[in-house]
Amino acid sequence: MTRIGVLALQGDFREHITVLRELGAGAFPVRLPSDLDGVDGLIIPGGESTVMGKLMVAYGLDQPLRDLIAGGLPVWGTCAGLILLSRETDNALAGQPLLAAMNIRTCRNAFGPQRASFETLLKVPALGETPYHAVFIRGPVVEQAGEGVEVLARLNDDETAGETLNSSGPIVAVRQGPLLGTAFHPEVTGDTRFHDYFLGIVREQARSQ
């Protein structure tokens, strides 16, 4: 059985665990470095990126995570997790730790405060033709995607949501090898395609090693 750890220091880790178990994966919370033993993949959930990052350091998880990522561990960051995976973020709060694993620059809370949260349809070719219903909760955006980063989805800026992969809208989903990042919350939608996609990355990585 595929073993997926979900960073459980803060945020909506329970929802990810529930979805993964429904898909037949072995999913469990990660709070200490020892919890990383034997993982095939890891999800860093949404939450508050500064709090999550500081707790990651406090519990001694930051360097073990960097080492595992450098060794090819598939990791998926959603919302705050995307920020933590970023090489840099242009509006981080003081003391924000980053794993600096993906060649991207992000902007925190790109759409404003909690009350500015929204839902929309995204065209995500990697998931098939059916538009993906995405939930943004104080979501970031990827301001810059560098070498080796594949753009999976952008926000549409007109009424054609879900019909085209808009070439100019803000980037909200990216992949860099075995690393995946989404600015929204797939764990709350009932659509399991992104979780399936990540499990496919995990299986692909296992076959290549």
* Residues taking part in catalysis: 79, 185, 187
- The residues pairing with 42 across neighbouring beta strands, listed in sequence order, are 5, 75
Instruction: Give the C-alpha separation, 174 to 147, whole Å.
Output: 12
How many degrees, rounded to 5, is the angle at CA 24 between CA 20 and CA 28?
45
Task: Return d(Cα 188, Cα 114) in angstroms, integer.
Answer: 16
Q: How far apart are the first and last CA of the chain?
A: 17
- Tell me the pairing of strands 86-89 and 102-107: parallel
Which among 90, 73, 75, 79 is positioned nearest to 175, based on CA atoms? 75
**Residues 146, 179 contacting (CB under 8 angstroms):** no
Report d(CA 60, CA 56) in Å as an integer: 6
SS3 69: helix
